[in-house]
Amino acid sequence: MPKDNPGWWSRNVNRVARPEQQTPEQAKRAPWVLIAFFAVLVVLAVGTWALRVFVFEPSQSAEQPPAPTTSTEASAEPSTPPQDGTCQLDTTDRDISTSPPEATRWVVERWAALPEIDSAGPCIEEDGYRVGFAHTQTGAVLATYHYFVHANPSTANEATRGIAEYALVDGPLKESILQRIDDVLNGVEPRNTDAEMAQITLRGYRITYEGDTAVVELLAGSTDGSVLSGGTFKLIWLDGDWRVDPASGESLEASTTNVRPGDFVLWSASTAGTP
């Protein structure tokens, strides 16, 4: 049976450990063979470390996917409209079904004197009109006054389409009203001028309120007091402001006649004592 043949490593280790058993040439060569072997190991180790530090780790860092968006950032929902500094909305609801709120001022816009309340709106300046009303009974009534004057298709001017697009709930009735505004602006339909509309004054309101919905009836009359009428508006709290659900494709409100002032809360520049 042949004698076991020791491997390369064992042969050279034996030559270093037992030089007396080796020829002079083998004993001289064995240490250098082992030193060369260790040098190769060191070179391989250094090379592996360099590849990991300078090649693989930087590429892994570069390919690291961005951190996922937190649920708070992804689920942001609209709330109160952004403020532009003209007012600070107060969401404390107060019952104004029997007595009116106190207006900060009455401002003549277009053909009517409109109320403003610093804590309830309007508080956002847009292109030719103002929006942004508090989520309260007072905010709903203020929105109705302003929308009635500024979003009326029969008196359309350059800003009417913008406020109608903002104020009306999306749907076929909104599209019909926007088309009617375009027809008035383009001369397809006759336009009631501000001078003609100034013969009408806003006298008061009546409100039914349920938090996210409100039904507001406006009392209007001729300046000489000979004619009184009412218009019923349905409002919905949507996307951080009051919007109007149109009564038809022709009008924002449903009109009524033969109304009695005693059924309404009187609220106008004249009843407030403001000229």
Q: What's the token pair of residue 202?
A: 């806003």
Taking the C-alpha atoms of residue 120 and residue 233, their distance in angstroms, rounded to an integer, is 19
How does residue 111 score in pLDDT terms, banded at 50, 70 and 90?
A: very high
Domain ranges of the chain: 8-62, 105-266
Residue 188 scores a pLDDT above 80: yes
Taking the C-alpha atoms of residue 244 and residue 144, their distance in angstroms, rounded to an integer, is 8
Taking the C-alpha atoms of residue 248 and residue 225, their distance in angstroms, rounded to an integer, is 28
At residue 211's C-alpha, the angle toward residues 140 and 174, to 5°, is: 55
Residue 54 scores a pLDDT above 80: no
Secondary structure of residue 92 in the 3-state scheme: coil
- What CATH number has the domain spanning 105-266? 3.10.450
Q: What's the token pair of residue 107?
A: 């401002």
- The pTM score is 0.69
Q: How far is CA 37 from the centre of its chain?
A: 70
Cβ atoms of residues 109 and 149 within 8 Å: yes
Cβ atoms of residues 266 and 100 within 8 Å: yes
Cβ atoms of residues 197 and 110 within 8 Å: yes
Q: What is the mean pLDDT of residues 138-142?
A: 98
In terms of Cα–Cα distance, which of 205, 212, 210, 261 is closest to 233?
205
Residue 13 scores a pLDDT above 70: no
Percentage with pLDDT > 70 across the chain: 67
Cβ atoms of residues 234 and 244 within 8 Å: yes
- pLDDT value, residue 248: 96
In terms of Cα–Cα distance, which of 231, 236, 227 is closest to 255?
231
Which tens digit of pLDDT belongs to each residue from 198-251? 999 999 999 999 999 999 999 999 988 889 999 999 999 999 999 999 999 999
Helix or strand run (H / E) with residue 254: strand 254-257
Largest CA distance in the chain: 137
Secondary structure of residue 202 in the 3-state scheme: strand
Query: Between these two residues, 61 and 273, which has the higher pLDDT value?
Result: 273
Give the pairing of strands 254-257 and 228-238.
antiparallel
